[in-house]
Structure 1
Amino acid sequence: MTPVDPIQSSDLEAYIDDQLTASRRIEVESYLSENPDVAARVMADLAIRGELRLALSSGRNHGRAETREAARRLQSALSRGAYLRTFQRMAATVALVAAGWMLSQHYGPLTISKVEASTPAPAFVEEAIRAHDTSILRESMPSQAGSSRYDAAEIRSATAIVIPQIPKEWKVSDVQIFPSAFGPSVEMSLTDEEERKLSLFAVRPGFFAVQQVAQAREGGTQASYWQIGEVAYALVSERQDASRLSQEAERLARSLY
C-alpha cells in the first residue's frame, strides 16, 4: 500500500519524536522498510535521543557538572528544528566520546571478551520457536484443520505486519494470528520444494532496528531471524541446516525491499 502523501523529512522528525498518528506512523515505517539507508539514519537519531533522555532522566550525578550542563543544552537544542540536526549528531558523538574517555580514565581501558561480544538472540526468536512447535502440533491433529488462504494486505491492515513474498515453489499449509508478549504475531506453516517443513514468524517486537539475518538454535530447532524497522521475522525449521536456512531467510528479507 503506497502512502497517499509522500514521506517528508518533517515526517521522519515527527516519527523520531513520537508525534505521528498511528496511521501515519505505519506509512513512515513502510517507507523506511523500502529505504534501508534512511532507516539506518533514523535508527541512529533514535539511539541518540534515547541516550540523552536516559542520561537526563537519571537522578544520579554521574560525570562532571560541565558535562551534565552540556547534555541539558543539547537536549534543548533537539527541539529547534531540522536545520540543527547535523549539529545534534556531532555534539552527541562528542559527548559520548568524552564520557567514554572519562570512564577509561576512572576504570582503565575497556576490553571485550569473546563471551561478552556474543549477543543473545532477541526474545521474539523464542516466541517464533514456540509458535513453530505449536504449528507442528496442530498439523498432527486431524480436528485442527489448517487454512492456506491468506490476504497479505488484510494482515498488514490489521496488524501493521508486512508479509514477505513467499517463493512460488513453496506451499503454504496454514496461516495463523497468534498472541505473543509483543502483541499479535503471524505464523505461517510452509513446505519448501524438497518437502521440508518451515515456519515463518513475524511480529512487532516494540523497538526499531535494522538487523541483518542472524542465526539461533534451540535443541534441534534452527532459526534465522532479522528485523526491518519495527517488524521482526524468523524462519524456523528442524530439517534445514543453518547455512541453507540463512540463505532462505535472506531471500525472504530481500523481497521486503
Structure 2
Amino acid sequence: MNQIDPVIDADLHAYVDDQLDVSRRIDVEAYLSESPESAAKVMADLRIRDELRLALAGSASTPHQDTREAARQLENAINRHQTVDIFRRAAAIVLLVGAGWIAHGWIAPASIGEVVASVPPPQFVAEAIRAHQTAELRENISSLSATDRFDPAEIRSATAIVLPQMPANWSVRDAQVFPSTFGPSVELEIEAGEGRRLALFAVRPGAFAVQQVLMQESDNAKAAYWQIGEVAYALISETEQADRLADEARRLARTLY
C-alpha cells in the first residue's frame, strides 16, 4: 500500500462506485486485504449497490415520480461522498418504492433476500459444481473411498485457503483437493442435519475482490457464491431452497471476519 497517499473514506466510496483508475484500485485492494473490518463494510456496500441495480433493472414499467426522485437523491448522496449510513438509507428507499413496499416502512439492508446474479458467474462457480459432481460420483464407486478426515489448519498451510467455521451440527463426510485454473481448490461434502447434504468449495481465483453472496442456479444444482479477499467460496446444493442456501452462505461468510 502507498504510504505517501493513504487510503481514505473517499477512496472506499469511489471503489464501490467504480470511479477509480486501475492504479488506485490496486492501492485500495491492498488496504482492504490488510483491514478485515473495512473489507466487510465495503462488501456490504457492494451488495447494496448491486441489489439496487437489480431492483431498478428488473422494473418493466416506467418508474413512478417518487422512485425517480429517490434515485436522484441517492445519486446526489453518492456524488457528495456522504456517510455509509446515508447511502444505505437512500438505497433502502429506492428498493422499497420500486418494489411497492413503502407501506412497510424502513427495513435494514440485511433483511433483503438473496440476489440472483444478472451476469455470468465467475469460472470458479462452474468448477465448484463439477467438483461436487465428481465427489458424488466417487461416492458411488466402492473402490474409491471417501475421507472425512480434514484439518483446516493443514489445508490453509498447503493451499493458502482459509475455510469458514461450520455450525456445530454440520459434519464433513468427504474432503478432497481438486486442481483448478489458479491452483488447488478444496471441496467438502457436508452433512448439515435434517438429512440435508451440501458441498463447500473454496479456491483462490487469481484476483482480489470483495463480493457479497450471489446465487446461481443450473439444471441440477444451486450455488451460493461469494469472495473475500483472495479466496472465493461456493456453497452447493441439489435440493436446498435458494433463500435458505443463501442464508447459510452468509452465515459461513461472517465467520471469516
**Same fold flag (TM > 0.5):** yes
Tell me whether 148-157 or 218-227 shows the greater mean CA deviation.
148-157
Partners of 1:196 and 1:37 lie apart in 2 by 32
**Would the aligned equivalents of 1:39 and 1:229 in 2 still touch at CA under 8 Å?**
no
Q: Secondary structure at the match of 2:198?
A: strand
| Structure-1 separation of matches of 2:135 and 2:38 | 32
Note if 1:178 corresponds to 2:178. Answer: yes
Q: Which residue in the other structure is 1:140 paired with?
A: 140
Following superposition, the deviation at residue 9 of structure 1 comes to: 5.5
Report deviation, 1:248: 0.6
CA distance in 2, matches of 1:214, 1:38: 16
> Could you tell me how far apart the structure 1 residues matched to 2:137 and 2:40 are?
41
In structure 2, the partner of 1:199 is: 199
Deviations 1:126-159 (A, max 9, x none): 0000001001111111211111111111111111
CA drift at 1:39: 8.2
- The CA distance in 1 between the partners of 2:254 and 2:180, in whole Å, is 25
**Runs of 4 or more above 3 Å deviation:** 7-10, 36-41
TM-score normalised by the chain length of structure 1: 0.58
Partner residue, 1:153: 153
Gaps of 5+ in 1: 1-6, 18-24, 45-92, 94-116
Q: 1:245 is paired with a residue of what secondary structure? A: helix
SS of 2:182's equivalent? Answer: coil
Contact 1:188 1:201 in 2 (8 A): yes
- The 3-state SS of whatever aligns with 1:176 is strand
Q: Conserved in 2, the CA contact under 8 Å of 1:39 and 1:210? A: no
Which has the larger Rg?
1
Match of 1:168 in 2: 168
Q: CA shift at 1:213, angstroms?
A: 0.4
Work out the CA distance in 1 between the residues paired with 2:201 and 2:249.
Answer: 11
Structure 2 distance, partners of 1:38, 1:189, is 27
What RMSD in Å do the two structures reach over aligned CA positions? 3.1
Normalising by the residue count of structure 2, what TM-score does the alignment of the two structures yield? 0.58
Report the 3-state secondary structure (helix = DSSP H, G, I; strand = E; otherwise coil) of the residue aligned with 2:124: helix
Per-residue deviation at 1:118?
2.3
How many Å separate the matches in 1 of 2:208 and 2:231? Answer: 8
Rounded Cα–Cα distance in structure 2 between residues aligned with 1:142 and 1:163: 28
Q: Do the aligned partners of residues 254 and 143 (structure 1) sit closer, same or farther apart at CA in structure 2, a change above 3 Å counting? A: same
Q: Deviations over 1:157-198 (max 9, x none)?
A: 111110000111011001111101121100001011112211
Q: Would the aligned equivalents of 1:214 and 1:225 in 2 still touch at CA under 8 Å?
A: yes
Q: Contact (CA 8 Å) 1:148, 1:175: kept in 2 or not? A: yes
Verify the 8 A CA contact 1:190 1:198 in the aligned structure 2. yes
Contact 2:39 2:210 in 1 (8 A): no
Letter in 1 for 2:166: I
Matches of 1:152 and 1:9, distance apart in 2: 34
**Compared CA separation, residues 38 and 128, structure 1 to 2 (3 A):** closer
User: CA distance change for structure 1 residues 121 and 229 in 2, over 3 Å: closer, same or farther?
Assistant: same
Partner of 2:246: 246
Identity %: 53
1:77-127 CA distances to partner (integer Å, 9 max, x unpaired)? xxxxxxxxxxxxxxxx9xxxxxxxxxxxxxxxxxxxxxxx92211111000
Q: Secondary structure at the match of 2:133?
A: helix
Aligned partners of 1:203, 1:155: CA distance in 2, in Å?
11
Mind listing any 5+ residue stretches in structure 2 that lack a counterpart? 8-24, 47-78, 80-116
